[in-house]
Structure 1
């Protein structure tokens, strides 16, 4: 194994925007491992709406439904099992302790999450531990001067660089435009609106059967 990518999130619930983004990223980059990292206590979000067990099961069902072994999708539960709040820098330190300093590790972030980076715990250390693959959105303008400066200093325009370099780079990638959010999906469920196009079939069935978000 020479590289991996980490896709962290609440996944409450996981939806087709998450899955299609992951598929498009992996079809393009072919990382040796693609790790979904559900968090237990989101530091910058309100409390999760579904239980930890439910979120994990929905994530497992969604990955199983893709049914493509070449995508190398897997779930890492270390943050869910952690009793303290989820800090990405701590998780990346764990990976480095396990895998060493030469493997290329990338963190997958949507542009909205990337824009909040200065609010993250010890955010300045993230690029000392990993690369950042940012899912870009046409027309989006970063307001933070420090993030614009960071892009000027650390951005690469060659995809292969984040597959080979251990850390320190930022690459922006257009994985497609999916106008979906877990918040919107939960609102639809509460109002009995159709979610058939928003979720993997098995996830929708699980939510209905178990009355999640009701």
Structure 2
């Protein structure tokens, strides 16, 4: 069965935590396609700080020399309306068919917010969910809706994701990376240097274009 995984986000900016998570996922699962999906207008987040072009530029710089079947899909960032993942997955299905295994990569924070997503109940009819454990995520209290979702869809065999077109949830520890884009933006606005948390070429790009000051 052909398979792909989608990693959506604002990537404002993309940082080493994003990249190392993606590499660790690929080293373990070896998806045929690993798609970075930058969004234009995130519904549940504040407006992006860098422009769409700048975020795409940084994403391209971060992944261009990595041999992990990485690619960038601009369908959401080119959309005029807000980014709803369910619409994106529907478009993937229309284009690629019902037999393909599609997996959506999420952090535990986003996973626990699923009931706030547009038409969230449809997500598992379109894709599997690979949930990346975060620092402190074991202490997060799950809602009853999320608990019920796990009772119905959780699998403890990660290999089944690639063999299933949709409908499964699997938790995976891709490593602990205690950094976020918001922390990096804050450091830059305070005149600090967060280069150790960024791919080298991304750090140079941010400095050259004086972003997040």
Q: Same fold (TM over 0.5)?
A: yes
Q: How does 1:41-60 map to 2 (within 5 A)?
A: 41-60=41-60
Quote the offset at 1:141 in angstroms: 2.9
Quote the offset at 1:155 in angstroms: 0.4
1:117 aligns with 2:107: no
Q: Deviations over 1:13-64 (max 9, x none)?
A: 0011100000000100000000000000000011000000000000000002
1:22 aligns with 2:9: no
3-state secondary structure, aligned to 1:208: helix
**Number of equivalences:** 211
3-state secondary structure, aligned to 1:149: helix
Q: Deviations over 1:68-118 (max 9, x none)?
A: 32x100000000000000000000000000110011000000000101100
Quote the offset at 1:142 in angstroms: 3.5
Q: Which runs of 5+ in 1 are unaligned?
A: none
| Counterpart-to-counterpart distance in 1, 2:99 and 2:210 | 45
3-state secondary structure, aligned to 1:59: helix
| Counterpart-to-counterpart distance in 1, 2:61 and 2:19 | 11
Q: What residue number does 1:68 align with?
A: 66
Quote the offset at 1:176 in angstroms: 0.5
User: Cα RMSD (Å) of the superposition?
Assistant: 1.0
| Counterpart-to-counterpart distance in 2, 1:6 and 1:99 | 14
Alpha-carbon contact 1:132-1:169 (below 8 Å) kept: yes
Q: What residue number does 2:74 align with?
A: 77
Q: Which runs of 5+ in 2 are unaligned?
A: none
1:36 aligns with 2:33: no
Quote the offset at 1:194 in angstroms: 1.9
1:103 aligns with 2:100: yes
Q: What residue number does 1:10 align with?
A: 10
TM-score (norm 1): 0.96
